[in-house]
Structure 1
Amino acid sequence: MDYKKLIIRGISYSQTQSGAYALLLEHEETAVKLPVVIGNFEAQSISLGLEKDIHPPRPLTHDLFSKFIKSSGYTLNSVIIYQIIDGVFFSNLNFKCLATEEELILDARTSDAVAMAVRFEAPIYTTEQVLSEAGILLELDIPPVVKEAFSDLESESQSGSLRNLSSENLQNLLETAVKDEDFDAALEIQQEIKRRNKKID
């Protein structure tokens, strides 16, 4: 299968889910962004994994698991985000035994998989289908009028009334949500846009 390599672009606080964060992954070749909603602990663990100079006084769960894997003679070769169902991403951890080259594949939450990937400096991949279903292409040149429209439309989005909005308003709402780094809302809006496009096709 032709996998698409992702890089970590950052982590931002979720504006619509209390205590949640949005992990932003990006496909470098197309600049398509993949927002993944994660919890506070996972966000902290990924951030600490990226900051190699910061060491917590006691090992975190992902640090402990990483040390166990290395002590067992394995390494993490890659992480693959292979599926999305009802907004939930599914990932595999692909391990390899250094002595025998035997491969071991474990199912994992995407947040845990990324936290492990940063500790092993392992590449993160996804499929064309996942990028197509959940990816967002950022539009940075957003006209000022969109910001005004967003304040009127935001309450409708939060109340689950996306289906009542025009296609133009949905697109404006999507662009503003992305600009404000509210990626979980952006994903919900984009799914409604894609649902309409499928009906047109």
Structure 2
Amino acid sequence: MDYKRLIIRGISYSQTQSGAYALLLEHEETNVKLPIVIGNFEAQSISLGLEKDIHPPRPLTHDLFSKFVITANYELTSVIIYQIVDGVFFSNINFKNKENKEELIMDARTSDAVAMAVRFDAPIYTTHQVLNEAGILLELEDVSKEVEMDEPVANEGDLSTLSISEINKLLEDAVREEDFDAALELQKEIKRRNKKIE
């Protein structure tokens, strides 16, 4: 399968879900962004995994599992986000035994998979289908300049009353403000309208 490599662009506090964070992954070639809602513990663990110089006084769960993987003579070779169902991402962690090269694939929550990947500097991949379903692409040149200073407010259920240029403007604002939940809803509305045109 033709997998698309993702890089971590950042983690921000989710504006729509209390106590949750948005992990932002990006496809390097197309700049399509994949926002994933994760919990507080996972956000902290990913952040600490990215900061190689910071070591907590006691090992976190992902540090403990990483130590076990190394002790068992395995390496983490990649993470694959292979599916999204009803807004839930499904991922596999791929391991390889250093001695006999035996491969091991484990099902994992995406947040845990990414937290492990950063500890092993392992690549993160996804499929074209996942990027197509949940990815957000900001095409600034397509955003209409005709939107006045009084910008429309995106409330659930009223998107049907807005023009495509107004929705594009809201999408641009949502991504700039790192409100990825709202951006995902706006992107879905744009895709829905494009399907109608086809």
TM-score (norm 2): 0.92
Q: Deviations over 1:99-147 (max 9, x none)?
A: 1111110111111000000001100001111111111123457769577
Task: Report the counterpart of residue 180 of structure 1 in structure 2.
Answer: 177
- For residues 7 and 117 of structure 1, what CA distance do their matches in structure 2 show? 11
Q: Which amino acid aligns with 1:197?
A: N
- For residues 45 and 63 of structure 1, what CA distance do their matches in structure 2 show? 9
Q: Which residues of structure 2 form unaligned runs of 5+?
A: none
Secondary structure of the corresponding residue to residue 62 of structure 1: helix
Task: Report the counterpart of residue 136 of structure 2 in structure 1.
Answer: 136
Task: Report the counterpart of residue 94 of structure 1 in structure 2.
Answer: 94
Alignment of 1:3-152 (within 5 A): 3-139=3-139, 148-149=150-151, 152=152
Is the 2:46–2:114 contact (alpha carbons within 8 Å) kept by the matching residues of 1? Answer: yes
The alpha-carbon distance between structure 1 residues 160 and 20, as it changes in their structure 2 partners (threshold 3 A), is farther
State which of 149, 164, 169 in structure 2 corresponds to 1:167.
164
Q: Which amino acid aligns with 2:45?
A: S
- For residues 89 and 12 of structure 1, what CA distance do their matches in structure 2 show? 18
- For residues 35 and 146 of structure 1, what CA distance do their matches in structure 2 show? 28
Of 166-175 and 122-131, more deviation after overlay is shown by 166-175
The alpha-carbon distance between structure 1 residues 147 and 58, as it changes in their structure 2 partners (threshold 3 A), is farther
Is the 1:140–1:179 contact (alpha carbons within 8 Å) kept by the matching residues of 2? Answer: no
The alpha-carbon distance between structure 1 residues 144 and 19, as it changes in their structure 2 partners (threshold 3 A), is farther
Q: Which amino acid aligns with 2:170?
A: L
Is the 1:146–1:172 contact (alpha carbons within 8 Å) kept by the matching residues of 2? Answer: no
Q: Which amino acid aligns with 1:37?
A: V
Q: Which amino acid aligns with 2:99?
A: A
Q: Which residues of structure 1 form unaligned runs of 5+?
A: none
- For residues 147 and 76 of structure 1, what CA distance do their matches in structure 2 show? 50
Q: Which amino acid aligns with 1:45?
A: S
- For residues 102 and 196 of structure 1, what CA distance do their matches in structure 2 show? 47
Matched-pair identity in %: 75
- For residues 89 and 146 of structure 2, what CA distance do their matches in structure 1 show? 34
How many residue pairs end up in the alignment?
196
Q: Deviations over 1:45-70 (max 9, x none)?
A: 00000001100011101001111111
How far did 1:191 drift? 1.3
How far did 1:169 drift? 2.4
Is the 1:10–1:23 contact (alpha carbons within 8 Å) kept by the matching residues of 2? Answer: yes
CA RMSD of aligned residues (A): 1.9
- For residues 127 and 103 of structure 2, what CA distance do their matches in structure 1 show? 20
The answer to whether the aligner puts 1:197 opposite 2:180 as a matched pair is: no
- Going by fraction, where is helix more abundant, 1 or 2? 1
- For residues 18 and 149 of structure 2, what CA distance do their matches in structure 1 show? 23
